[in-house]
Amino acid sequence: MNMTNFELRKWQTSDLDSLVKHANNINVARFLTNQFPHPYNRLDGERFLEIAMSHNPAKIFAIVVEGEAVGAIGVFPQDDIHCLNAEMGYWLSETCWGQGIVTEAIGRMIEYGFKTFPVARIFARPFGNNPASQRVLEKAGFHLEARFDKNLIKNGELLDELVYAIRKNDDAE
C-alpha cells in the first residue's frame, strides 16, 4: 500500500474551490446519500462549508493531500435513545482512491470520536454495491452488524444497506 501523506483538519472557506473540484464526480456521489448532489456546484460547496465550520467541537474534517482538500470525514453523535451512538460518513476524491487514506482517516476519527463525544459505538452505513468502503471499514476494525436487503434507492436502483460498527471497548479485546 503506497500511503499518501495527508492531514485531517477543520474546513476553511478557502477550501471551496478544491471541494467543488473533487466533490463534483459521479463516481463519488453514487455511493453517498442524495444530500450529496451531483453535479456538485459552488453553492453546494458554500452550504456544506457553512455547516461543517459551524460545529463546536468539530464533527466534519477535511482530508487534505498536498495542501488541497480532497475529501471529508465526519462523526455525528445521535440523539434521544440513540445518544450513545455516532454515525461516521466519509468520501474521498477518485484521484486519491486506493492509497490507504480512508482506512487511516477512519482510524483517526474513531479515536477522535470516542475521545470527544460521550458515545460507546460508532457506525457507518455503506451501500451494498460499495465493496471498497466495506473493506476499509473492516480494516479499521469495524464489524458487520446488519444487512438490509434492497432497502435503499439510489439513481433508480434498489440497493442493500449495510451497518458496520465499532464499540469503544473493541480495542480492549
Output the pLDDT for position 16.
98
Cβ atoms of 75 and 109 within 8 Å: the answer is: yes
State the burial class of residue 15 (Cβ atoms within 10 Å of its Cβ: 0-12, 13-18, 19+): buried
The verdict on residue 1 lying in a domain is: no
- Domain total of the chain: 1
The verdict on residue 96 lying in a domain is: yes
The verdict on residue 92 lying in a domain is: yes
What pTM was estimated for this model as a whole? 0.93
Q: Does residue 90 register a pLDDT over 90?
A: yes
| pLDDT, tens only, 20-43 | 999 999 999 999 999 999 999 999
The verdict on residue 109 lying in a domain is: yes
CATH of the domain at 33: 3.40.630.30
How large is the average pLDDT for residues 123-134? 96
Output the pLDDT for position 169.
84
Torsion of CA 51, 94, 101, 78, to 10 degrees: 30
The verdict on residue 160 lying in a domain is: yes
Cell of 162: 449495510
| pLDDT, tens only, 2-22 | 456 999 999 999 999 999 999
The verdict on residue 2 lying in a domain is: no
| pLDDT, tens only, 101-120 | 999 999 999 999 999 999 99
The verdict on residue 121 lying in a domain is: yes
The verdict on residue 150 lying in a domain is: yes
What residues make up the domain containing 166?
Answer: 7-172
